[in-house]
Structures are given as structure tokens and as C-alpha cells.
Structure 1
Amino acid sequence: MADTEVAPATAVRLSGKAPHNRRRAWIVTALLVAFMMINFADKSIVGLAADPIREDLGLSATQFGTANSAFFLLFSIFGAVGGLLADRVRPRWLLLGMVLFWSVSQAPLALGAGVAMLFTSRIMLGAAEGPAFPIAQQTALSWFPNSRRNLPSALITAGTTFGVVVAAPGLTWVITEHGWRSAFGVVAVAGVLWALVWAFVGKEGQYAVATGPDPAADTAAKAASEPAPSNVGYRRILGTRSWIGVTAAFFATYWMVALTVAWLPSYLHDGLGYSRTASANLVALLWAANAVALLGQAGLTGWLLRRGVSSRWARARVGGITLLLSAAGCLALTAGQGGPLTVLLLIAGFGICGVMATIAVTTVAEIAPAERRGGALGIMQGVVTTAGLIAPILVGRLVDTQGAAGYQHAVLISAAVLLLGGTAAVTLVDPARDQQRLAQ
């Protein structure tokens, strides 16, 4: 199968509706970018307010790390369950329900709840946000053919970075001027406002598989997309070397995401000696670098695919080499370099490894039949986000037992994780090979 085909769905182009569909596709994509921005602003609050929260609630570093890991207690499970559900229920309604639920989960902390509610709220937030990334990606990809999916997928992924770029200085100001509880109120209100817009504008595109009755969309969906029948089960998809390889690589990326959200501000302040203001600005810079890397990867990958380069090279090896460069950056950070070089190494170690998230999603979408895509993406999400359960607790334990030196050992462990993930992407992933095997 050619790299530019959609598997297994085919779409009948309706010339009169094509411009309208293109506009709607980008409107929906923009809303989903905003969705992911709010999603990661929610996640980033605890890291940005780490010291005030620990002081106010009397938490040790290990307890604080456990609170961050509590977010991932149900996050991974619900990520997999939500992905499977998205193959049966229209994603537009799942996204609406998720954002309303996670907004409600923030309210108790904004209103003065204590330690017990901090843990409960993070668990509830994790359950609500677990399926967010795969379902947002599935919804965006339903508007585009395979050869055009890199940019929208990268934008959805970049939404996570845009969220922190905006949140780091903005929420830091709110925390400083109005207290850390006010920040939870801000993101809760933002989620409710997004839900109001999505309820009227959000829907799936012409490359989606119909999953339930929608009187307003059924006729257009049937005319625009006729998915080919498939008997490929989830077990066969999950057993491919490509799925295993991109999942391992995405795990490494998520390990770094979890550390960045939970511990990066503290690492910059306590481990590297930056002021709190400089730490917040560096956090924003690193997420901005990640956004640039994501969009650059999307442009490069799309350019290579349109020129006939295989997805093995255009996606997997571009992502795998990036992870190997990130591993080298983390390893160099542990040598204790200072000055401008440290900023460059932080960008290499923390600021470019996010490209694998987009590559993993588009690779799985390439090999999985449309009616199995949500489940394949959701199960991948469930596996990779276990990194978020492990990493924050591990770093908290290292900091409690070793002090500032614990951060250096955490970065060294991260270098090893990135090395393994990059190697898996480079050596295992070959979508064309696995497409052929699944078709047999």
C-alpha cells in the first residue's frame, strides 16, 4: 500500500463541499489545539506551584512526587478504555464529557481543600484526561488523508507545549499574586468555556468511521467516507513490531513529559540554581522549543512522504534520531556544565524529544484499520503514560534521599530511557512491512 493512502477507509470527494470541509477541518483542529492547551495547563499547575503547595500542605518531596503520580493512577487505564470507547461512541461527545469532568475536578482545590482532596482531585483529573490525547488525535485525523496528517497531528501535540508556554508565565503570575489555589480556578473556568464552544462546533470528519447515530452528520458521513471492512483484531495490531517500537519510543517521550510537568521547575531552581522567575521563563522556553521541533518535524516528514520516502525513514527514524540526540543532551547535563551551554543542553534533553508523540500517533493511524484506530491509539496511550506513574515518585525519592544530587541521577536515568526508546524506533518500526502482514 502506498504511503499516501488511507487504510482502510476511502473517501469520495464531493467537489462542492471540499472547500467547506477544509475550512471545517482546520476550525476543528484549532479547537482541539486549544483543548490540549487547557489539558496541559491543568497538568502544569502542581509543578509550577510546587514549593507553595509543599509549604502550605506540609508535604515532603516524596509525598509531593506521589501526589503527581496519583494523577497517573487512573490516567493510563482510562486512556486505554477511552480509546476503545472512541471506536463505538462519537468522539465529539467523549471530548465534551471529559473537559467538563476535569474542570469540575479542579474546583475543590480552588475552594480550599487540603491534602486528601489534592490526591483525590489529581486522580479524578487523571481519569478525565487519560483519553484526551488519543481521542483528540483521532478526531483531528478523521478530517485528513494520511499524507496530510503530519501537520494537524503535530499541531494537536504542540497544543500541549503551547499550553505550558502560556501557562508557565501566566499561572506563575496568578500563583504569585493571588495564591496557588486561584490557578486551579482559572483553568477550571477555561475548560468550561471551551466546552461551550465545542458543543456547537465540534464533530468528526469524512475519514471517520460512523460510531453511532447523529442525524446532523450521518448523510454527509456516508457520502464522504465508506470504510472498507476489516477483520484485523487489536491483538494483531498490538503485536506488530511497528506498534511495539513506537510505543517504546513514545514511552520515553512521556517519561520526559512527566518529569517536565512535575519536577522541571524545581530542578531548575534547586538543582541548577536558577531563580523562580528565571525557572518559569526557562520552562516556557523549553516548551516553545518543543513546539518548534514538532512543527519542524511535521514539515520535514510531510515533505519526505510526498516525495516517496517510506514512513520507516520519514517518521520512525526522524523520531528515533531525535530521541538519541535528547539522550545525549541529558547525559551532558549530568556533567554539570554551566552558563549558556546549560540552556542549550536543556533544549536538547527536554525541548525536542516531544516529536515522537506525533510520529507514534501517525504511525499507528497508518497501520491500524479505521475501525480499530481509536483502540490502538488508546492502548498505546495507556502503556506509555505509565511513565507518568513511575517518574515523579522516583524523582521525589531521589531528592529526599540525595538532596540536589538526586536531580542529576534522575536526568541520568532519563538519558537511559531516551536511549532505549530511540533505539526501538530506529530498529523496529516499518509501517509498510506491518501493513502487508496485517492484510494477509
Structure 2
Amino acid sequence: MTAAPTVPQQPVGATEATRRSNVRAWIVTGLLVAFMMVNFADKSVLGLAADEIRADLNLSATQFGLANSAFFLLFSVAAVVVGMLADRVSPKLLLLIMALLWSVAQVPAAIGGGLAVLVASRVFLGAAEGPAFPVAQQASLSWFPNEKRNLPGALITVGVTLGVIVSAPTLSWVIQNHGWRAALWVLAVIGAVWCVAWVLFGADSPRARKTVAGAATADDAPQVPYRRIFASRTWIGATLAYLTSYWTVALMLVWLPSYLRNALDYSAGTAGTVVVAPWAVGALVLFGQAALTGRLMRRGVSSKRARGQVGGWIMAIGAACCLAVPLTDSVVVQTVLISLGFGFGGSYASVAATTVAELAPPARSGGALGLMNAIVTVGGLVAPAVVGALVDAHGEAGYQQSVLVSGVLIAVGAVLAFVLIDPERDRAQLAG
């Protein structure tokens, strides 16, 4: 009698450890979704209170736009510095410090003061929030292998959308009933609550801990200089495409509520609800993109097509909708087109993040994502001021002109995504 063939089995202890690691990965990802929700609630509050703040502080549209642009003054610098630091320091610690600083940054303007206090608090807040997206993406994606990163990457980005969807009606109610400074206190408290949850349940991935400790892995050797990553066509294409997309995000955050109220004649309460429409569209686009990209990659389709071309088509649809807005006088149709245009056009973040995460070795992903985010947020620095100047110069027509500018920029971003992005090609060149 011969012995029955046996099938090698994974040790029970290893299986249980893997299961616990998977559970912890999704807990961390869920907390980071909430992290990004708080982040974008912080960003959106001034846009929701634009008319009230301008009336209270006697600001022109240009002055208000510049005050919002001040948020991005140190945003880019902090994104680069902390992004690279995240390759060496615990992401868990960095995220905790950032969230604590957000809460502190809300306090001066919440207490009182004029334009100078508002600008100073926004500069401080921008510096604290600049690294948030790249570090959150790095902290989440490091728990997952490349072929499973699309969903967590999309979820982190959807946190941006959910932050506006949840906060817009809530903060609008607070602003209308208790004033815009009360809304800042609400955000300070929410940020502090998140910090407590992160201390209790947050964690660095095993791979992140090895990188911080200096342990070498197969993915880390040989070490690739940052300059070679930044010179790759994929990194350049993803960064520039994301820059055009972020212009649209900044416009939505700062000026869309005023656009709805002053150009399309929605009431303050209705505008606080309608303003979530493009963000809701964006959430659907993000999940759709994640599902489609994941399916394509599981079928062996190249990431040039699965990420580069899918991302390019998303932006192309957004551009077409924005450019079509002047073709109709119907408020309803314009609202639909703006929602689709901004929803599609502003949804490139997760494509950019997962593309760069695929391109860069793990020990360089923080810096690669950080510099990308720094360049991208130049759109946030410029867009609010430019739109404010257009509104002061052309009145209600300035709002529509800003949508056309966004459409042109997103179209350029779509072309760059189609032409330049090929992570597999460029990763092979980096390894050579």
C-alpha cells in the first residue's frame, strides 16, 4: 500500500496571522478614509461660508480668493518634506501629528479676528494638511500587494468625496444657524476625536515598519534615486494630469457654492445640498474606475491601458461636459453638466496615486507621492485667486468662464495621461 499523496498546507499560525493582518489592513484603511473626510471638510468650510465670510469681513471676490489660495502657500513644501520623511518615520506618527495640528489650526479664526487671522490660520492649516493625501495613500497601500491596491486607493480618495458630501449640508446648517466661526469649532472637535481613534486602532504595515527600521527587501534593492523616478514619463504624465484635475477640485471647494447661489440662483440651503452632486458623481466614478482597473489587471491587461487609458477617458469625459456648459441656458442642464464635468474631471487622484505607487519602489513611494502632491497643489494655489479675479472683473459670467478654463485644462490632462503613462515600461527602466 502506498501512502496517499498529501497537499502541503499553510501552518495554522501563519494562516491566522495573515487573517489578522488583512483585518488590520482594512481597519487602518477605514480610519484613513475618515482621516480624508476630516481633511476635506476642513478645506470646504470656507467655500460653504463664502458669502457670509465676505459680508462679515467686507472682502471682494479677489480678496476672498487670495485668502483661500493662502491655504496652499506651504501646502506643497510640507507635502514634499513630510512625504520623503514618511519613507523613514512611522506613517502612523506622522498622520497623528497632522490631524492634531488641523484641530489646533481651526481655533484662532474660530475665536475671532479679521482677514489677517483667517489667512494665517489657513496657511498653518495648509502646511499641516499638505502631506495628508500622499501619506494616507502610502500608509494604506503598503498593506496591500500591487494587484489589490485599486480598491483601498479608491477608498482613500473617496474619503475626499465623502468629506464634502457629509459635511456640506451639515456645515451649511451650522453656518446658517450659528455662524461660520461655529463651524470651525465643530471641525476642531471632530479632528480631535479622530486622533483618539487613530491612537487606539491605527498601525503601520509590516512593510512600512521594515522600511522605517532600515531592513532591505527584494523590492528595495537596488535603491533607485528619486531623480530617476521624477524623470520618468509615467511620473511626469500622472503628475501633470493630476495637476489639471486638482484645479477643478480647488474650484469646487472654494467657488462652487457661490456659483450655485449667485450665478444659478439657488438658495443658500439648496446650494448646500446641490453642491454635493459633483462629489457624489466623483465617488461613483472612483469606485467604477477601481473595479474596472482591477478587473483589467487581473485579466493581464497592461497598466498602461488599465490605469493610463482608463484615467485618460475619465478626464476626457469631464472635459467634454465642462466645455458644453455654455451651450445651454437651462439651469437644470447646466447643473447636470457641471456635476458630471467636475465629478469626472476631479476624480483622477486615485489613478495618479496607484500609478506612482506601482512605479516607485516601496522605499521611495513616500517621496514620489509627496513631490507629486506638491506640484499638483499648485492648482489649488492658483485656481481660487484666478476665479476670484474673473468674478470681480466679469460678475456672474466669471463663474462660467472658470468652468471653461477647467474644461480646457482637464482636456490637456487627458491627453497627457494617454500619451505618457506606462508604469510597467518605466518601472523596468528604473530597475535596469
Is 1:378 equivalent to 2:378 in the alignment? no
Question: Which residues of 2 match residues 19-98 of structure 1 at below 5 A?
Answer: 19-98=19-98
Please say if residues 150 and 362 of structure 1, whose CA atoms lie closer than 8 Å, have aligned partners that are also in contact: yes
Please say if residues 220 and 363 of structure 2, whose CA atoms lie closer than 8 Å, have aligned partners that are also in contact: no
Question: Which residues of 2 match residues 133-148 of structure 1 at below 5 A?
Answer: 133-148=133-148
Deviation per CA, 1:71-100: give whole Å up to 9, x if none. 000001111111111111111100000010
Name the one with the larger helix percent: 2
Is 1:332 equivalent to 2:324 in the alignment? yes
SS of 1:175 mapped into structure 2: helix
Shift of 1:201: 1.6
Is 1:417 equivalent to 2:402 in the alignment? no
Deviation per CA, 1:340-396: give whole Å up to 9, x if none. 322321222111223310010001010101100000000000000000000000000
Q: d(CA) in 1 for partners of 2:415 and 2:14? A: 43
Corresponding residue number in structure 1 for 2:251: 259
Is 1:403 equivalent to 2:386 in the alignment? no
Q: d(CA) in 2 for partners of 1:394 and 1:310? A: 39
Question: Which residues of 2 match residues 2-401 of structure 1 at below 5 A?
Answer: 14-208=14-208, 210-212=210-212, 227-401=219-393
Return the TM-score normalized by structure 2. Answer: 0.94
Q: Name the aligned partner's letter for residue 420 of structure 1.
A: V
Shift of 1:226: 6.1
Q: Which moved more, 1:316-325 or 1:42-51?
A: 316-325
Kindly report the root-mean-square deviation, in angstroms, between the aligned alpha carbons of the 2 structures.
1.6
Shift of 1:209: 5.5
Q: Which moved more, 1:105-114 or 1:148-157?
A: 105-114
Please say if residues 90 and 209 of structure 2, whose CA atoms lie closer than 8 Å, have aligned partners that are also in contact: no
Q: Name the aligned partner's letter for residue 117 of structure 2.
A: M
Please say if residues 297 and 355 of structure 1, whose CA atoms lie closer than 8 Å, have aligned partners that are also in contact: no
Q: d(CA) in 2 for partners of 1:120 and 1:336? A: 41
Q: d(CA) in 1 for partners of 2:180 and 2:33? A: 25
SS of 1:208 mapped into structure 2: helix
Q: Which moved more, 1:264-273 or 1:53-62?
A: 264-273
SS of 1:210 mapped into structure 2: helix
Question: Which residues of 2 match residues 426-437 of structure 1 at below 5 A?
Answer: 426-437=418-429
Please say if residues 209 and 370 of structure 1, whose CA atoms lie closer than 8 Å, have aligned partners that are also in contact: no
Shift of 1:186: 0.3
**Unpaired stretches in structure 1, ≥5 consecutive residues:** 1-12
Shift of 1:277: 1.9
Shift of 1:59: 0.6
Q: Which moved more, 1:256-265 or 1:275-284?
A: 275-284
Corresponding residue number in structure 1 for 2:8: none
* Percent of aligned positions that are identical: 54
Q: d(CA) in 2 for partners of 1:310 and 1:413? A: 32
Q: Which moved more, 1:348-357 or 1:182-191?
A: 348-357
Q: Which moved more, 1:154-163 or 1:334-343?
A: 334-343
SS of 2:208 mapped into structure 1: coil
Please say if residues 239 and 372 of structure 2, whose CA atoms lie closer than 8 Å, have aligned partners that are also in contact: yes
Q: d(CA) in 1 for partners of 2:212 and 2:291? A: 35
SS of 2:327 mapped into structure 1: coil
Shift of 1:280: 1.3
Shift of 1:412: 1.1
Please say if residues 65 and 395 of structure 1, whose CA atoms lie closer than 8 Å, have aligned partners that are also in contact: yes
Please say if residues 144 and 207 of structure 1, whose CA atoms lie closer than 8 Å, have aligned partners that are also in contact: no
Shift of 1:211: 4.4
Larger Rg computed on CA atoms: 2
SS of 1:345 mapped into structure 2: helix
Q: d(CA) in 2 for partners of 1:200 and 1:19? A: 20
Please say if residues 230 and 369 of structure 1, whose CA atoms lie closer than 8 Å, have aligned partners that are also in contact: no
Q: d(CA) in 2 for partners of 1:360 and 1:261? A: 20
Q: Name the aligned partner's letter for residue 48 of structure 1.
A: L
Shift of 1:30: 0.3
Q: d(CA) in 1 for partners of 2:159 and 2:143? A: 18
Return the TM-score normalized by structure 1. Answer: 0.93
SS of 1:413 mapped into structure 2: helix
- How many pairs align? 420
